[in-house]
């Protein structure tokens, strides 16, 4: 088989396409480190909350805490989370949410990457909780 310029360019373009497809898939998963936390629905969050018998730590990562939040939560805005991580109990499970995906995804990844486990992220955030008919404050 003879190598030509055209076949080399074709192989290069195919290689670039495969690499870009992998990058796009990672970006679309919406996580910094998708293995460090688990996305869950409002229904799953409610089940975990009740099953944890008060052990689950729920953190509202949003700066919009006063616009509505789940009952019995801690408000740690995302920009303050790094300073608070050393004070949090690593032996407990965590559920995080906010009022937007950027905050909750970044916060869940920070906790997971800091060694907390399990870490759950409420998919759809506070709006999903309220839309499911669960109480907010």
Q: Which pLDDT belongs to residue 6? A: 55
pLDDT digits (tens, 9 = 90+) for 68-92: 999 999 999 999 999 999 999 999 9
Phi and psi of 79, rounded to 5°? -70, -10
Domain definitions of the chain by residue range: 1-30, 34-131
pTM score of the predicted model: 0.73
Per-chain mean pLDDT for the chain: 83
Q: Which pLDDT belongs to residue 33? A: 42
Edge-to-edge strands, sheet with 119-122: 38-40, 119-122, 94-97, 57-60, 74-75
Q: Which pLDDT belongs to residue 53? A: 86
Mean pLDDT of the region 101-116: 96
CATH architecture type of domain 34-131: 3-Layer(aba) Sandwich (3.40)
């Amino acid at each position: 088989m003879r190598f030509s310029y055209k076949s080399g360019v074709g192989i290069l373009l195919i290689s670039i396409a495969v690499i870009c497809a992998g990058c796009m898939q990672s970006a679309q998963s919406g996580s910094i480190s998708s293995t460090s936390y688990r996305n869950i629905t409002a229904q799953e969050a409610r089940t975990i909350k009740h099953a944890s018998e008060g052990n689950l730590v729920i953190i509202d990562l949003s700066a919009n805490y006063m616009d509505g939040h789940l009952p019995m939560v801690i408000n740690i805005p995302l920009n303050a989370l790094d300073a608070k991580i050393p004070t949090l109990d690593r032996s407990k499970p965590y559920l995080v949410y906010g009022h937007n995906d950027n905050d909750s995804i970044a916060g869940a990844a920070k906790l997971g990457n800091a060694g907390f486990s399990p870490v759950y992220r409420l998919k759809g955030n506070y709006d999903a909780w309220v839309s499911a008919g669960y109480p907010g404050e």
